[in-house]
């Protein structure tokens, strides 16, 4: 994998942070600017221990920039908040997003966060990491709408609504 020279890489990291500061995103960064924790607001679902599906409106996501950044493969994205989403693996929070697979060095962390917000609002059950969530979203395409989820009968296919703050 390619690497930027150290001094240019450090300037790029500082530039990423400056862009995020100006964006108004809610985030924290470590001292060497290689790890960011973001708070993303938006409707999402999570799976309760009893198998029911609940709604959540605030999500924590970690973006780690590796030495290969800004080239493809130079970052890791992990969803920290429990989530039931076809494109996010529940076990470890791994995110499947086209932006990561098609990453170009001209893209920014701010554009990645915008893409994550889009992914949250527009799940893609046709390209899942979480097949159980994909099946649910195919059966309930409006599950993220403001209206209530269907009443609970079968805990997975007809979940009850549980709100979490």
Query: Which residues participate in catalysis according to the annotation?
Result: 96
Q: Answer for the pair 150, 158: CB distance below 8 angstroms, yes or no.
A: yes
**Pairs from 32-36 (Cβ < 8 Å, separation ≥ 24):** 33/65, 34/64, 34/65, 34/66, 34/69, 35/62, 35/63, 35/64, 35/65, 36/62, 36/63, 36/64, 36/65, 36/109
Rounded distance between C-alpha atoms, residue 50 and residue 131, angstroms: 19
Q: Which among 114, 94, 123 is positioned nearest to 41, based on CA atoms?
A: 114
Rounded distance between C-alpha atoms, residue 55 and residue 84, angstroms: 9
């Amino acid at each position: 994998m390619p690497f930027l020279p150290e001094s240019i890489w450090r300037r790029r990291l500082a530039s990423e942070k400056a862009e995020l500061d100006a964006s108004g995103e809610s985030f924290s960064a470590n001292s060497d600017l290689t790890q960011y924790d973001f708070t993303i607001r938006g409707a999402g679902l999570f799976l309760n221990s009893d198998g029911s599906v609940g709604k959540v409106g605030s999500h924590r996501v970690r973006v780690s920039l590796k030495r290969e950044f800004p080239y493809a493969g130079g970052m890791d994205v992990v969803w920290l908040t429990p989530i039931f989403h076809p494109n996010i693996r529940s076990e470890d929070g791994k995110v499947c997003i086209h932006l990561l697979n098609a990453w170009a060095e001209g893209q920014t962390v701010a554009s990645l966060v915008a893409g994550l917000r889009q992914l949250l609002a527009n799940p893609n059950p046709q390209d899942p990491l979480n097949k159980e969530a994909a099946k649910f979203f195919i059966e309930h395409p409006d599950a993220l709408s403001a209206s209530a989820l269907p009443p609970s009968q079968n805990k997975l296919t007809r979940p009850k609504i549980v709100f979490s703050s």
